[in-house]
Amino acid sequence: MSAISLTPKALYEQVAEQLRQRIFRRELEPGSWIDELKIAEEFGISRTPLREALKVLAAEGLVTMKVRRGAYVTEMSDKDLRDVYHLLSLLESDAAGAVAAQATPEQLRELEQLHAELAKSVHDRDRFFAINERIHMRMLEMADNRWRSQMVADLRKVMKLNRHNSLLKQGRIEDSLAEHDAVLSALRAHDPQATIQAMRAHFAHGLEAAG
């Protein structure tokens, strides 16, 4: 097997990103043990940068390390899922309220354009998911609190471990689009409290569909 070519970035960071994407694509399933020898051979690296990469993923919650046993892809319990949604709801609704209070006309137009792209993607689940996440992350950027943004980014990585993607449920994409529309309407009105409530409702319905 030929080794994967890695660019001259910190090697362990490159390896961590490769593994992260495999986890997101379910090539490494939740609960599965990571075969360090096989992956090190495939990447053409020693086990030292691989272990450093696994430490990064463990800090993000994507893998769980066991002393003298190695690492496996983290499994999410129902409680884990509820806890992650709860925190995301708090953090992202707070950010949305800040955007409602301070958004410029240009920023609102950008969110309108993203929402229009979302509406065109209802028949393409992967594209809908990608644009949906882009809208959420863009609002966090507009709210301009890097600590909150980092916390949400880490929580969203863990959320991708959920085996039961809420957007797979029948009618969930259409419901999600309607919930985004409600958030956007509150943003247009520059109503922080209505925006916060709309975003919390969006996460509550997402959790219900993901359960």
The model carries a pTM of 0.82
Cβ atoms of 192 and 201 within 8 Å: the answer is: no
Instruction: Using pLDDT thresholds of 50, 70 and 90, give the confidence band for residue 171.
Output: confident
Task: Report, as an integer, the average pLDDT of 198-211.
Answer: 91
Give me 51's structure tokens.
Answer: 């272990």
pLDDT bucket at 3, cuts 50 / 70 / 90: low
Alpha carbon distance 200, 205 (integer Å): 9
pLDDT higher for 167 or 33? 33
Per-residue pLDDT at 1: 52
* Tokens 């090697």, residue located: 11
Top-ranked range on mean pLDDT: pick from 19-33, 90-104, 115-129, 196-210 = 90-104
- The answer to whether 197 and 185 are in contact (CB under 8 A) is no
Classified as helix, coil or strand, 177 is helix
Q: Look at 2-6, 55-59, 73-77, 146-150 and tell me which has the smallest mean pLDDT.
A: 2-6
Per-residue model confidence (pLDDT) at position 8: 47
Q: Is the pLDDT of residue 120 over 50?
A: yes
What is the rounded end-to-end Cα distance, in angstroms, of the chain?
Answer: 40
The three-class DSSP label of residue 189 is coil
Per-residue pLDDT at 176 exceeds 80: yes
pLDDT (average), residues 18-35: 93
Please state the rounded mean pLDDT for residues 53-78: 92
3-class SS at 9? coil
Adjacent-strand bridge partners of 65:
71
Domains of the chain in sequence order: 11-73 (1.10.10.10), 78-210 (1.20.120.530)
Q: How confident is the model at residue 167 (pLDDT cuts 50, 70, 90)?
A: low
Question: Residues of 80-103 as b/e, b for ≥16 C-beta within 10 angstroms?
Answer: bbeebbeebbebbbbbbbbbbeeb
Token pair listed for 161: 């471990």
Lowest-confidence range among 47-61, 70-84, 133-147, 157-171? Answer: 157-171
Give percent above pLDDT 90 in the chain. Answer: 79
Over residues 2-17, mean pLDDT: 74
- 161: CB partners within 8 A, 6+ apart: 23, 30, 61, 62, 73, 74, 75, 76
β partners of residue 209 = none
| pLDDT confidence of residue 106 | 97
